[in-house]
A = this chain, B = another copy of it.
Amino acid sequence: MSAITPDETVLGLLAAQARHGYQLLDCFQDPRKLGRVWKLSTSQLYNVLKRLEREGAIVGCEVASESGPPRTEYTLSAAGQARLSAWLNEPNPSSSIRRVRVEFLSRLFIARALALPTSAIVHRQREACLRERERLAAEHSMAQSSIESLTLAFVVEQLDGVLRWLSTCETLLASN
């Protein structure tokens, strides 16, 4: 699991409610939902569904619709449930800037959609970012060229921003 894919996020959406591709696509395009977080094309989303089904995390079932063409409605399997909760409880989330922006926000969104507590998720993310910040600050102090130094300073600065932002997350989620 190296690349950054919406797979687990799809599992989360399906855990909240069985859906078909087109509905999921809407979640990923509506800016009030995940549209600001992910930017998925049609084929990408249907690719994810195909992959998840192949891996046995979800089960598709062709259903006739009263209004429109037939659709394939997907449901979580037990394996999918397990994978989803492993993802939500990830002890050491990635602290790459992009991943925080995408994965962490997705986790938060899914946890809230499932009415699960979010404080542990935020806390683990904060810890991971703090560790990474320290690691990079140490590397920064040993940089051997100005470009290396500037690059590391950039990432440290970004992580400081993330940490500050995580604080506002905590505040907002506490006052809910």
Contacts and interface: CB of A to CB of B under 8 A. Distances in A.
Interface of A: 31-37, 97-98, 100-101, 105, 108-109, 144-148, 150-155, 157-158, 160-162, 164-165, 168-169, 172
A105 B157 CA distance: 15
Q: Chain A at the B interface: mostly helix, strand, loop or mixed?
A: helix
A88 to B, nearest CB: 16
A2 to B, nearest CB: 12
B154 A105 contact: yes
Contacts of A36: 147-148, 151-152
A4 B36 CA distance: 20
B105 A37 contact: no
23 contacts: A31-B144, A31-B145, A32-B144, A32-B145, A32-B147, A33-B147, A36-B147, A36-B151, A37-B151, A97-B97, A97-B98, A98-B98, A101-B155, A105-B154, A108-B147, A146-B172, A150-B169, A150-B172, A153-B168, A154-B162, A157-B164, A158-B158, A161-B161
